[in-house]
Amino acid sequence: MQANESDEIDVQAGVTKRVVGLRRKVAESARLRGLVDNPDMVAVRIESQRRLITRGMWFFLALGLGFTTAGVQDFLAGHRPLTDPLWWAAWLAEPMLAGILIMLLVFESEILSHGVEVGSRWVDWLKRILLTSTLFMNVYPTIAVREGERFEVGNLAIHVMVPVVVFGVAEVMPVIQHRMNQAITDAYHRANTTTPAPPTPAPAAPPPAPVQAAPATGTRLKLPDQIRDAVKARADQVAAEGRALTADDVRAAVRVPPDLADRIAAEVHAHNGHAFTN
């Protein structure tokens, strides 16, 4: 590598070590940009953030439901003594309602993450009934104060705010799942529909030969090993299917411009499928 660089610096006027170093940085930047824009890398990043956000939302939703459980218990059994079995049974009311709500959220999140709409008003109605019941049972004891107690605005505010926040979280969580899944889908869609620009040739390198409508195949293309192996594997696959390699097959195997894909396919046909074996 050092010998090649030395020859290049000695022969080509103006190509200094600094120019060679800058070319290396440009090539590295182009590869890094390709990795950052790779749809698989985008999917990994989005999925990692989705898990983090989902866990946080579930954690804070559980805290909110824990607070509302005490409010519902106070509404149902606040006047009963501890010896009354209903006083203890009242603690089960809100966990039961919250459990149904959580199952609905899991259902919505799962199907929306696969791009399927809920398509039923009963799901929305049931969520609203559950959350409205929780809100009412939390707020009523703060308004209808018992004898010996006094009305407190702060107590009313917190008993209104927490159920409303729980309701908001319940509505937002499926949306988060759906939107982040859509972001992953869009990343793969862009990768499949966008043709990458051909690399800019080095200043000292001769310009590439123009690609004709019917490219000549007398001279074999020299491709990087990675592209050559991918095309050869695709050619073997389509040969096993009993058909000839097409430009679309080439582009399905490697990401190259359409004109280069046509030339590669023509080269393979001209050499009976052995264009890249030497």
Q: What is the pLDDT of residues 211-267, one digit of tens each?
A: 443 343 344 566 777 777 788 888 888 777 777 788 888 788 777 777 777 888 777
Could you count the other beta carbons within 10 Å of the beta carbon of residue 156?
A: 15
Where exactly are the structural domains of the chain? 39-193, 210-278
Tens digit of pLDDT for each residue in 17-47?
777 777 787 777 666 666 666 777 778 888 8
